[in-house]
Amino acid sequence: MIDQTYRLPSDAKLLTPVRVGAIEATNRIFMAPLTRSRAQSDGTPSDLAAEYYAQRACAGLIVSEATAICEQANGAYMFTPGIYTDRQQGVWAEIAEAVHARGGKMFVQLWHVGRMAHPEISGFETVAPSAIAADMVAHTPSGKQALPVPRALRVDEITSIVEQFRCAARRAVDAGMDGVEIHAANGYLLHEFLSDATNVRTDAYGGTPENRARLTAEVIEAVAEEIGPDRVGVRISPGGTAGDMRENDPVSTYEALLNRIAGLGIAYLHVLIDPSSQTFGAIRALWSGTVVLNTGRDRDTDFRELEGLAEWGAVSAVAVGRAYLANPDLIDRLLLGAGLNEPDESTFYASGPAGYIDYPALAGLEGSRTA
């Protein structure tokens, strides 16, 4: 799965610093958001999370696991964190401090899971832009269950969701985080509004590309106003099929979104897509700001390809997920051409320290970046 042999030259573009909005990242290999399902049952991050993230502080920027903006925003998976209570915020503050102490930078990824929620996990009715279920199962406390047909959100509820994103972003920055990434990818609520397959509303939030992009744009605008646009990233996955998602004409949808947010000056656009696709070319041409690319989970992490994209200027930075999950000292390993640890899928969403904070660093290098 991971290219074990490539050694990044010490003058690699990916190893050069890059300004991303308000922060100066020491390199261009960011850590992609990774749900790890180890949070406490009230949505407070795990006591191990500070150590887990601090171990990976060599990343130019860490994007946290997806984090709920309110209690109702949860419910796709068990033991995922939130950032809507003082207790949760307190542990996020410990995480920020631990990452900063190692010289790292970190954004919290904010989500509402929309139709991907199961009431047995969330404790709430499942909501979405329209009453169209995802043809998927959730892993609930009583076993695998089909996702229900969601209830279409009322406009007054949509307005509240915008405010909940704003409040969650405020809490993240108050906790000492460097910023937030708005999760508008992978079939969760904002993506469901963007898609013409999951959004068949006939009001101001459905129909035209501009209307389908409205909620995501309003969230970005509200969060940018609250914490400053230079602390806001946005993740999109145009045409992506995660979460039983379909988009018939992604380019026109994302064109509407990007046109509307172009003038805000946000920190970055994070695109999860195959870089050889036509859609990526179109999206790239539509965005003059900073682009962070994640090539997607079905492809091998090919650092040679990623370096080529960075050198060519197609992307400002890349995000990699599983390679950081399994290699806390990924940057050192790439520089040395050392072998990479293989990620253990059986512990991706397990509980406890195994497969979380016990991936080994290279002997002799442990702690070398803490000095």
Ligand X SMILES: Cc1cc2nc3c(=O)[nH]c(=O)nc-3n(C[C@H](O)[C@H](O)[C@H](O)COP(=O)(O)O)c2cc1C
Cβ at position 235, least distance to ligand X in Å: 5
CB of 36 to ligand X, least distance (A): 7
Running DSSP on this structure, what letter comes out for residue 137? Answer: E
Nearer to ligand X, 66 or 177 (CB): 66
Q: Are 362 and 329 in contact (CB under 8 A)?
A: yes
d(CA 43, CA 357): 20
Per DSSP bridges, beta strands 23-25 and 291-294 are unpaired
Q: Which residue is nearest to ligand X (CB)?
A: 321
DSSP string, 222-279: HHHHHH-GGGEEEEE-TT--TTT---SSHHHHHHHHHHHHGGG--SEEEEES-TTSHH
Helix (H, G, I), strand (E, B) or coil at 30: strand
In the bound state with ligand X, the residue whose beta carbon lies nearer, of 19 and 297, is 297
Burial class (CB in 10 A: 0-12, 13-18, 19+), 288: exposed
| Residue of 52, 53, 77, 188 marked active site | 188
Which residues, in sequence order, are CB contacts of 187 under 8 Å at separation 6+? 116, 134, 198, 240, 242, 243, 244, 245
Could you give the angle at which helices 214-227 and 250-261 cross, rounded to 10 degrees? Answer: 30
Q: Tell me how far, at minimum, the Cβ of 111 lies from ligand X, in Å.
A: 7
* Residue type at position 84: Y
CA distance linking residue 296 with residue 302, whole number of Å: 11
Q: Write down the least CB distance from residue 301 to ligand X, Å.
A: 5
Site residues, ligand X (CB under 6 A) = 32-35, 65-66, 109, 183, 185-186, 235, 272, 294, 296-297, 301, 320-323, 348
Residue 189 · residue 162 · CB < 8 Å: no
Does the annotation mark 188 as catalytic? yes
CB of 28 to ligand X, least distance (A): 14
Residue closer to ligand X by CB (options 35, 290) is 35
59 vs 158, which CB is nearer to ligand X? Answer: 59
Cβ distance to ligand X smaller for residue 152 or 326: 326
* Shortest reach from residue 371's CB to ligand X, in Å: 28
Instruction: Identify the burial level of 212 via C-beta atoms within 10 angstroms of its C-beta, where 0-12 means exposed, 13-18 middle and 19 or more buried.
Output: buried
Q: Where are the alpha helices (DSSP H) in the chain?
A: 49-55, 86-101, 119-122, 155-174, 189-194, 209-212, 214-227, 250-261, 278-286, 303-312, 322-326, 330-336
Closer Cβ to ligand X, 33 or 45, answer by number: 33
152 vs 247, which CB is nearer to ligand X? 247
At closest approach, how far in Å is the CB of 225 from ligand X? 23
Q: What does the alpha-carbon distance between residue 54 and residue 182 come to, in Å, rounded to a whole number?
A: 22
User: Which sequence positions are flagged as catalytic?
Assistant: 188
